[in-house]
Structure formats: structure tokens, C-alpha cells
Amino acid sequence: MRGTAGDGRDGPTERRGGFTLVELMVVLVIIALASAAVILTLPERGGSLSSEAERFAARAKAARDDAILDSRAASIAIGPAGYEVARRTESARYDWVEGTEPALSGGRDGRIRFGATGLADPARLELRRGGRLVAVDIGEDGNVRIQR
């Protein structure tokens, strides 16, 4: 039995509501591309290697400044898991971000020492992670520079 005109049952030209398989697949591809774009723009866990070098350099400069202000030596002990900044009245320990490999050349016994006048044992700390390298140079004059 055929429906009357306008009742929605007009025969083979009738279209039901909903989406076709092709339309659903296009939507899924768009969602996948958008997700990939978001994941690629996320920052590294723990920050970039440059950020880690900047944090170390800032703490080294603070140790130098404290040595000058207190007229007492300050030192930074570098290890594979992290580093410790020792000042007159306190010390603080900081860990490297997972995957960071430090290599210290110069300094004494894995330490960088700032004298009471701010002068330092010249040293170079190289930080490596995932094929990238950033170096922090500490000059005899106590200046701290980051080399990218």
C-alpha cells in the first residue's frame, strides 16, 4: 500500500535521516588529524633541554651572587641524577629531567666552585637528551653562558 502525497512514504526516492558510512569515515579522519596536531604541539615532559640548561644557569648565577654577597664560597656538585647547590647556610638538590645526560669538563671532582669574589673554576657542562646538546660554560670570571 502506497502512502498518500506528503506522508513521507513516497517510494524509492525516500531518504531517511542519518549519516552514510563515508560521512562517518570523513569525520573520523578529521578527528584523527586534529588529535595528531595537538599531540605534536605538546611540550616535552619536564621542559626542553634548553629550558633545563637555563634553569641550571640561573641557579649557578644565584650561587655566584650569594658567594659574593656572603663573602663565602659556594659550590655546585654535578652528578648523573642531578646537582646540588651548596651555600653558606643551606644546600638544595635538583634532579635532571629523565633522559638528560650531564657531562662536566673542568671544575674539580665534579664540582664547580665560586669563590668569595665570584671567581670560578672554569667549567663546561654539556647536557644531552634525545640527540640534542646544550652546553653551559662557566668562565674564570664567574660568568655563566649557555651555548646552543
What pLDDT shows up at residue 62? 92
Candidates 127, 125, 123, 126; CA nearest to 139 is 123
Distance, in Å, from the CA atom of 47 to the CA atom of 143, rounded to the nearest integer, reads: 24
What pLDDT shows up at residue 31? 93
Q: What is the pLDDT of residues 19-70, one digit of tens each?
A: 899 999 999 999 999 988 888 777 666 678 899 999 999 999 999 999 999 8
Q: Where are the beta strands (DSSP E) in the chain?
A: 74-78, 82-86, 91-95, 101-106, 111-114, 123-129, 132-138, 144-147
Residue 65: which domain range? 49-147
Distance, in Å, from the CA atom of 69 to the CA atom of 116, rounded to the nearest integer, reads: 8
Residue 14 falls inside a structural domain: no
Residue 132 falls inside a structural domain: yes
22, 27, 33, 38: CA torsion to nearest 10: -170
DSSP SS3 for 126: strand
Residue 22 falls inside a structural domain: no
Q: What is the pLDDT of residues 68-101, one digit of tens each?
A: 998 999 999 999 999 999 987 788 999 999 899 9
Residue 44 falls inside a structural domain: no
Residue 10 falls inside a structural domain: no
Residue 118 falls inside a structural domain: yes
Report the number of distinct structural domains present in the chain.
1
Q: What is the pLDDT of residues 110-133, one digit of tens each?
A: 899 999 999 998 999 999 998 899
CATH of the domain at 97: 3.55.40.10
Task: Work out the percent of the chain whose per-residue pLDDT is above 90.
Answer: 61
Cell of 105: 669538563
Residue 11 falls inside a structural domain: no
Question: Does the predicted model carry a pTM greater than 0.85?
Answer: no
